[in-house]
C-alpha cells in the first residue's frame, strides 16, 4: 500500500505544519484539517455543519466533539503517545479515504463513525489466553528477528517501536530508514505462505522475511521458546536503561499470558532465514488494484512462484 497523499503530506511536512491546522482536502465532503498541538502531538480535526455522533476510541487517542466559534461541529482526534504516531496516521487515512466517496456530508459523517468504531474494536486488547500453534510460531519468529536482526542496527527500544503488527497495522515492522517488513514463519515442510489481507503485501519499500521455524524439544541445539525470547528482549531493554512498557503493551494486545505452560513447553528451532523483495512484479493481491467493493481477501502464495524475488537466503546455526 503506497503512502496516500495525506500520509505523504504528514511525512514530508508534519514538523513544518507546527501547532495549528491546515486544510488537506478541499474536495472532501467534510472539512479535513491536519496539524499538531502545542506539545507537538499529531492532531486531526473534522469540521461539519451537521452534528456528529459522540465518538470514543481508546486511551491512546483523545476524541473530542464540540462546536467552534463559527457554529460548526468539530471531531478532534489527538494521539496521546508518540510511539503510536504511525498507527494513528493509518487510522486517520482510513477515516479520510472511506468517507471521501460519500454523496453528502450526512453520509460522510456516518462513515466516519463506522470507521472509528471498527478501529476502537481493533485496538481493544485481546483477552489473555493461549495462542494457536500458528500464532505462536509467528510471534516467536518476530521476536527472533528483533533479537537477532533488528537489534544489530538499532537499539532494542527502537526495534520494539517499529514492531507495529501487534497494534493492528497490516505489516509487522516499519522503520523510517528501511521501510516495511512483513514476516512469515512456517514449518520446514510448508511450501506456501498465507496472506491474511489485500493490504499485507501492498506497501512501498516492503521486504518479505520468511523463517523456517521447526518444532523441536528443549534439548536440541538452538532451541528457543517464547519465554526465552521475551527474556532476551527485556534484558536488552534493561541494558539500555529503556522502559519495557512498549514491549509489554504489545504482548498484552496479542493476549499473551506467559504463565501458560504451553509457551514454556513448546520449542522451536530456526533453520533458514530468507528475504524477498516485494516489487511491482511480485505476485500478490493488492488493495490498491482491487475493484471497489472487494475486501477481506485471503490467499496463498507458493514459495516456488516467488523464487526470482529472493534477495538472500542463509542457514541459521
How far from chain centre, in Å, is Cα 275? Answer: 20
Question: For 79-114, how does the pLDDT look when each residue is reduced to its tens digit (9 = 90+)?
Answer: 877 777 778 888 888 888 888 888 888 888 888 888
Overall number of domains in the chain: 2
Distance between CA atoms of residues 241 and 129, nearest Å: 30
Q: What is the pLDDT of residue 314?
A: 93
* Residue 4 confidence (pLDDT) above 80: no
Same domain, 98 and 172: no
252 domain residue, yes or no: yes
Show the 3-state SS of 125-153.
CCCCECCCHHHHHHHHHHHHHHHHHHHHH
87 domain residue, yes or no: yes
Same domain, 39 and 154: no
80 domain residue, yes or no: yes
Name which of 99, 73, 88, 107 is nearest 34 in CA terms: 88
Top-ranked range on mean pLDDT: pick from 9-13, 20-24, 46-50, 83-87: 46-50
Q: Compute the half-sphere exposure of residue 137: CA atoms within 13 Å on the CB side of its CA.
A: 18
Question: Which one of 94, 122, 150 terminates a domain?
Answer: 122
Q: What is the pLDDT of residue 265?
A: 93
Same domain, 50 and 144: no
Average pLDDT score, the chain: 87
181 domain residue, yes or no: yes
Same domain, 35 and 15: yes
Burial level of 3, CB count in 10 A (0-12/13-18/19+)? middle
Q: Which residues contact 238 (CB under 8 A, 6 or more apart)?
A: 244
152 domain residue, yes or no: yes
Q: What is the pTM of this model?
A: 0.69
Q: Which residues contact 277 (CB under 8 A, 6 or more apart)?
A: 207, 208, 309, 311
Q: What is the pLDDT of residue 1?
A: 45
Band the pLDDT of 14: cuts 50, 70, 90. Answer: low
127 domain residue, yes or no: no
Helices (H) and strands (E) in the chain, counts: 9, 12
Q: What are phi and psi of 42, to 5 degrees?
A: -60, 140
Domain span holding position 304: 133-315
Same domain, 113 and 140: no
276 domain residue, yes or no: yes
CA dihedral sign of residues 123, 127, 130, 133: negative
Question: For 178-217, how does the pLDDT look when each residue is reduced to its tens digit (9 = 90+)?
Answer: 989 999 999 989 999 999 999 899 988 899 999 999 999 9
SS3 66: strand
Same domain, 107 and 180: no
Show contacts of 285-293: CB within 8 Å, 24+ apart.
285/195, 285/198, 285/201, 286/1, 286/198, 286/201, 286/202, 287/1, 287/197, 287/198, 287/199, 287/202, 288/1, 288/2, 288/202, 290/198
Question: For 51-84, how does the pLDDT look when each residue is reduced to its tens digit (9 = 90+)?
Answer: 888 777 777 788 888 898 899 999 988 887 777 7
**DSSP class of residue 47?**
E
Q: What are phi and psi of 252, to 5 degrees?
A: -65, -40
Same domain, 198 and 235: yes
**DSSP class of residue 115?**
H
Least confident range from 81-85, 134-138, 159-163, 305-309: namely: 81-85
Same domain, 107 and 231: no
128 domain residue, yes or no: no
Same domain, 107 and 208: no
Same domain, 85 and 159: no
Same domain, 118 and 138: no
Same domain, 88 and 170: no
Amino acid at each position: 500500500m503506497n503512502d496516500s497523499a495525506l500520509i505523504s503530506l504528514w511525512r514530508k511536512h508534519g514538523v513544518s505544519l507546527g501547532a495549528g491546522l491546515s486544510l488537506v482536502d478541499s474536495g472532501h465532503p467534510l472539512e479535513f484539517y491536519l496539524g499538531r498541538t502545542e506539545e507537538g502531538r499529531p492532531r486531526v480535526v473534522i469540521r461539519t455543519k451537521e452534528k456528529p455522533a459522540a465518538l470514543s476510541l481508546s486511551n491512546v487517542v483523545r476524541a473530542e466533539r464540540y462546536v467552534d466559534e463559527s457554529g460548526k461541529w468539530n471531531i478532534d482526534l489527538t494521539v496521546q503517545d508518540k510511539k503510536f504516531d504511525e498507527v494513528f496516521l493509518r487510522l486517520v487515512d482510513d477515516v479520510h479515504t472511506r468517507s471521501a466517496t460519500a454523496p453528502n456530508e450526512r453520509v460522510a459523517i456516518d462513515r466516519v463513525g463506522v470507521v472509528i468504531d471498527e478501529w476502537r474494536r481493533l485496538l481493544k486488547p485481546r483477552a489473555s489466553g493461549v495462542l494457536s500453534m500458528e500464532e505462536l510460531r509467528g510471534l516467536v519468529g518476530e521476536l527472533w528477528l528483533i533479537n537477532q536482526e533488528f537489534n544489530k542496527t538499532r537499539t532494542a527500544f527502537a526495534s520494539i517501536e517499529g514492531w507495529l503488527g501487534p497494534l493492528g497495522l497490516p505489516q509487522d515492522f516499519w522503520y523510517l530508514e528501511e521501510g516495511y517488513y512483513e514476516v512469515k514463519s512456517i514449518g520446514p515442510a510448508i511450501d506456501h505462505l498465507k496472506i491474511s489481507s489485500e493490504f499485507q503485501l501492498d506497501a512501498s519499500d516492503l521486504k518479505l522475511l520468511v523463517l523456517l521455524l521447526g518444532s523441536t524439544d528443549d534439548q536440541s541445539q538452538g532451541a528457543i521458546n517464547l519465554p526465552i525470547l521475551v527474556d532476551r528482549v527485556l534484558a536488552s531493554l534493561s541494558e539500555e536503561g529503556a522502559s519495557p512498557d512498549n514491549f509489554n503493551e504489545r504482548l498484552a494486545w496479542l493476549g499473551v499470558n506467559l504463565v501458560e505452560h504451553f509457551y514454556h513447553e513448546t520449542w522451536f528451532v530456526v533453520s533458514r532465514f530468507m528475504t524477498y523483495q516485494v516489487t511491482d512484479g511480485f505476485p500478490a493481491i493488492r488493495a490498491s488494484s482491487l475493484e471497489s467493493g472487494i475486501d477481506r481477501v485471503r490467499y496463498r502464495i507458493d514459495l516456488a512462484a516467488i523464487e526470482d524475488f529472493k534477495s538472500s537466503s542463509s542457514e541459521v546455526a
